[in-house]
Structure 1
Amino acid sequence: MNMLKIKRIESIDLLKGLVMVVMALDHTRDYFHFSAFLYDPTDPVHTTWPIFLTRWITHYCAPTFSFLAGMSAFLISRRKSTPELSHFLFTRGLWLVFIELTIVNFAWFFDIQFRTPSLITIWSLGVSMIVLSVMIYLPKRIILIISCLVIFGHDLLDNIHFKDNMPWAMIHDGGLFNLSHGYQMLVGYPVIPWIAVMSLGYCFGSFYDKSYSSVRRRKILTYIGITAIITFIIVRSINIYGDPIGWKSYDAISKSMMSFLNPQKYPPSLLYLLMTLGPSLIFLANSEQLKGRIVNFFCTFGRVPFFFYVLHIYVIHVLALVAAQLTGYGWNKMIFHGGWLTDLPGLKGYGFPLWIVYLVWIGIIAICYPLCKKFDAYKMNNKEKRWLSYL
């Protein structure tokens, strides 16, 4: 039983660490690549395959991490009572929403007036935990049914819109809203279907019960992952349901393929979730036996994902200030007073080739790794400090 627990934790931490490191690539591209201030890197009309794939691979990060957060919540339930777990999820969810609107928002914009409060990744995780804190009182079968209904059915809401309605935007639509003169609210991650992704992960945590052998678990997760990928290909090909935009056929096959592989992320469509969670499940199913230095390297980030998330944004943004100053644009251009959308014109022409972006990304990971390793060791040696469980 103890050996199973170690393998299970390591495989989850490995996948968490991988998606966190890949996520850092996307954020590095946001601040350093020339295309970030000119066009959408997934737009078949303007992009190239290297740029497209650099952005596309990062699509796996948010769904995988939200799913694994739910799985981790189930694993915690094995040593906490339901009321204790509910209290932890609720309070940690509130804490994450607070951190999103303060420390994380400042990291993205460096605006001391907080003129563009943004509800993005950490907010969606926080709200999902709050909802999950209530859902765990339901039978797991009911949680599974609700999760699947939301994931497979939420695209029925794609054509329902309410103009300038922030509550609906927070639930499903997303958008940018004027609050007052000079202030805007960005809703980047509506809570549907993110709450269902986390609760689905909670249900999948049951596969790590002692009643499941590693062989049986691997077969089940691999089968579900392959089924998700096949379903994505079939439904995407039909091009009727599962994504509000659908894919387009271009004169060049390569551009059509880009469109096919680019379902909507904001909010994540059914096809987006099938495309990303399917391969993630296959990797999770077949990584329990992996060992070695590389595995340990990524597991370090996977054990302290929140710490790494906050740290890497500050590191990236500070380096971007330096880059903007050295290239003649001025460090102040990287202080986003009105958010990305209104500040982009002043940065047109700024940026570096993709290979430079990759070098900067590697450097950022190298900077963050020793700090994450020290914090991981501190957490391991101070398990009695309850506040560390919130980080």
Structure 2
Amino acid sequence: MNRINAIDVTRGLVMVIMALDHVRDLLHISALTQDPTNLANTTPAIFLTRWITHLCAPTFVFLSGTSAYLSLKRRNDESARRFLRKRGVVLLLLELTIINFAFWFDIHFHSLMLQVIYAIGGGLIMLSFMARLPIRWIGIIGLIIVFGHNILQLVPPFTNTAARLGWSLFFQTNFFPVENRFALLVGYPLIPWLGIMLVGFAAGQFIDRPISLRKPWLLRIGLGSLALFLVLRFLNVYGDPAPWSVQKDSLFTFLSFIRVTKYPPSLQYDLVMLGFMFLILWAADGANNFFTRWLSVYGQVPMFYYVLHWYLVHLSMIGMSLLQGYSLADIPSGPMNFGRPDGAGISLGLVYVVWIGLVLVLYPLCRWYGPYKAAHPEIKWLRYV
């Protein structure tokens, strides 16, 4: 399969941005006590640092669908669909083990967080069965989910724990504490994210066109998505459970306007974030310079980068705590505890310094792994990472 470089560049860009959010999550002084998008106590710098990273998850999920289309277009038979299914299972297993250990550094796994890899893995499994359908129907189902799942806000909450868990795994972000021994956070319910993946799969037929046809299409779709977002957001009626409102000044009113809901992803969130994603694909398509080549190194090895960056971020947090005078004995434990001592943390400016350093450290590793993986097709497990 010939790679479309714009996909690698776009994916690389959002992977670099993603690391900023995770460094902020674990190292910023107020990250554990302050919601960065809460307009009552945030600052514009903190808000925008968090907001820009909203671009990452929908781009990963959409492009996972597109990559699945490009993989299946040559041979959409049971063997190819089975590989897609196996890849989804591997991602789920990685999420439940290696990735969750990177979150918490807890060998007893008192905490379990289902995030974007859970959504991609589960989505690929479902897509492997749906791939038998005509691509038009896959796209229509995806659009129905994206445009219609906000109606589920009207469903009253379940009181039965098993029903609430089942609903959450597929439709609604939720938190399940089990006394002081275990906690489960369903951050990325499958169905809203599956809608994005299915749209990405159907869009693969357009992204696979020659650049002379693809590039204008990317621009039109990107601008159209942003225009529809503006219309729906101004109307303030449907598409996001958190309507915008006039704030203390024009800047915070603007922040309220762009403060869209990610958990689970609302229609307005999808429109604005995927709109920007299409514009990035459009800008990257055909570009060949130092910056795009640098980004594509990360974009060609997304899973390798994702796993490694979490371990580096968590080790950076421990190193920060030790440098600030805390000992390993001061590191707290327990469900949903990253292990950062009370009072430890750095300023937002230093968060950016650590973020840039971490991304640069990962570059030679990614640059080595990409060619190594391509040169060793006989190592079967490399196909999944």
Who is 1:325 aligned against?
A: 322
Q: Determine if contact 2:72/2:81 at 8 Å carries over to the other structure.
A: no
CA–CA separation in structure 2 for the residues paired with 1:198 and 1:333: 42
CA–CA separation in structure 2 for the residues paired with 1:331 and 1:249: 46
Aligned: 1:297 with 2:294:
yes
Letter in 1 for 2:319: V
Q: Which of 360, 363, 366 pairs up with 2:354?
A: 360
| Correspondence list, 1:42-81, <5 A | 42-81=37-76
1:1-24 deviation line (CA, Å, top 9, x unaligned): x9xx45xx2110000100001000
Letter in 1 for 2:148: G
Who is 2:116 aligned against?
A: 121
Shifted more, 12-21 versus 168-177: the winner is 168-177
Q: Which of 19, 23, 29 pairs up with 1:24?
A: 19
Check 1:41–1:333 CA distance in 2 against 1; reply closer, same or farther (3 A cut): farther
Report SS of the residue matched to 1:178.
strand
1:84-137 deviation line (CA, Å, top 9, x unaligned): 221011111111111101100010001111011111111111001011101110
Check 1:301–1:246 CA distance in 2 against 1; reply closer, same or farther (3 A cut): same
Q: Determine if contact 2:9/2:299 at 8 Å carries over to the other structure.
A: yes
Shifted more, 249-258 versus 61-70: the winner is 249-258
Q: Determine if contact 2:81/2:129 at 8 Å carries over to the other structure.
A: yes
CA RMSD of aligned residues (A): 1.8
Report SS of the residue matched to 2:30.
helix
Who is 2:236 aligned against?
A: 239
CA–CA separation in structure 2 for the residues paired with 1:79 and 1:219: 25
Shifted more, 269-278 versus 45-54: the winner is 45-54
Aligned: 1:108 with 2:103:
yes
Structure 1: 5+ residue stretches without partners: none
CA–CA separation in structure 1 for the residues paired with 2:306 and 2:191: 22
Structure 2: 5+ residue stretches without partners: none
Deviation at 1:316, TM superposition (A): 0.8
Letter in 1 for 2:349: W
Q: Determine if contact 1:109/1:335 at 8 Å carries over to the other structure.
A: no
Report SS of the residue matched to 1:117.
strand
Who is 2:376 aligned against?
A: 382
- Give me the TM-score of the superposition, normalised by structure 2: 0.95
Deviation at 1:334, TM superposition (A): 5.0
Check 1:200–1:254 CA distance in 2 against 1; reply closer, same or farther (3 A cut): same
**Fraction of identical pairs, as percent:** 39
Letter in 1 for 2:83: F
Check 1:258–1:284 CA distance in 2 against 1; reply closer, same or farther (3 A cut): same
Who is 2:262 aligned against?
A: 265
Check 1:203–1:333 CA distance in 2 against 1; reply closer, same or farther (3 A cut): farther
Aligned: 1:11 with 2:10:
no
Who is 2:81 aligned against?
A: 86
Who is 2:193 aligned against?
A: 194
Q: Determine if contact 1:111/1:335 at 8 Å carries over to the other structure.
A: no
Who is 2:308 aligned against?
A: 311
Report SS of the residue matched to 1:286.
helix
Q: Determine if contact 1:106/1:114 at 8 Å carries over to the other structure.
A: yes
